[in-house]
Amino acid sequence: MAGVMLGKSYNAMNEWLVEEIPGRDAIVRSAASVAAIAERELVGPEAEPLAIAVRLHDILIRNNKKWFNFLGGADVRVDVVVVQGNIVEDDKSSAYTPSTTRFADVGRQDSLATDEHGLLIYYGRPKHFLDISVMISRDTKDSDDLAKLIKDQAGSKEFGGALEAIVGLAVTAPQAAIVAGAVGAASVIGNLAYQVVRAVSGNTIGIYHGNRLAYPDRFGIGRNPPASTYQRGDMSFWYEVVEAEQKP
């Protein structure tokens, strides 16, 4: 759907430097703190990026935003964009991975039907950071997938500037300020993804945005959060990051 108008940034997506602390509310890393962390990461030889996979688990829809559920559940779409700092074969679009998965007849308090491995949302070799935006909303008839919606916005100044910041990290000698700027640019892409999905979908059920750095987070390898779930709006889930030499 070309021509979606982008409005003011949605407040829930503005706080892009998010660190999840077990047992505490999310806190926000400042750009200066990310730069300081990056300085420590960038000391010494650059390591070969790990191949990792990211999967969502136990996606629970607490309220499907449908008035009359006795007539059946709602159609729901799960849109995800994962942004990272590794450009593959000079393809700028390799910096981000959008996906859309649709589920039919979802009732209140229903868990979305995924297999025992969860819902795969990313496979690749990230560098410096991994930025994840998850948006769950009511699905509408004939709406485009997120990949198409983002492609339609590829010529926008907002999107182009964010992507160039990430490409700059990949093609120049990495510096702490460049890493911090690229992580900030990733949030712009996540925010744009939210806006284009919101423009074509029904009611928003819940959104999540967070990131993991190569240092000291190791991209969040393991369960996130360690012992509970993320609850955002009327959805909850957890995700795992695993090392994976072959695509799951």
pLDDT band at 159 (very low <50, low <70, confident <90, very high): very high
82, 131 contact by CB (below 8 A)? yes
Residue 81 has pLDDT above 50, yes or no: yes
User: Which pLDDT band, with edges at 50, 70 and 90, does 104 fall under?
Assistant: very high
Phi and psi of 126, rounded to 5°?
A: -70, 155
Band of the pLDDT at 33, cuts 50, 70, 90?
Answer: low
Of 187, 246, 206, which Cα lies nearest the Cα of 77? 206
- pLDDT value, residue 71: 73
- Of the chain, the end-to-end C-alpha distance in Å amounts to 31
Cβ atoms of 96 and 80 within 8 Å: the answer is no
Average pLDDT over residues 87-113: 92
For 119-136, write each residue's pLDDT tens digit.
Answer: 999 999 998 889 999 999
pLDDT digits (tens, 9 = 90+) for 47-73: 667 899 999 999 999 998 887 776 778
> 5 or 135, which is more confident?
135
Segment 206-211 shows an average pLDDT of 90
Q: 99-103 contacts: CB < 8 A, separation 24 or more? A: 99/145, 99/146, 99/147, 100/145, 100/146, 100/147, 101/77, 102/75, 102/76, 102/77, 102/78, 102/139, 103/75, 103/76, 103/77, 103/78
Dihedral Cα 140, 97, 217, 213, nearest 10 deg: -110
The label of the residue with tokens 């190791």 reads 218
pLDDT at 67: 74
In this predicted model, which residue has the larger pLDDT, 13 or 158? 158
| 218 — pLDDT class (breaks 50, 70, 90) | confident
State the average pLDDT for the chain.
81
pLDDT confidence of 173, banded at 50, 70, 90? Answer: low
Q: Which residues, in sequence order, are bridge partners of residue 213?
A: 129
β partners of residue 54? 122, 241
For the chain, which residues make up each domain, given as ranges?
30-243
Instruction: Give the C-alpha separation, 42 to 169, whole Å.
Output: 12
> In which band, very low, low, confident or very high, does the pLDDT at 168 lie, cut at 50, 70 and 90?
confident
What's residue 143's pLDDT?
93
Q: Work out the pLDDT band at 26, boundaries 50, 70, 90.
A: very low
- Residue 5 predicted with pLDDT over 70: no
In the prediction, which pLDDT does 72 show? 78
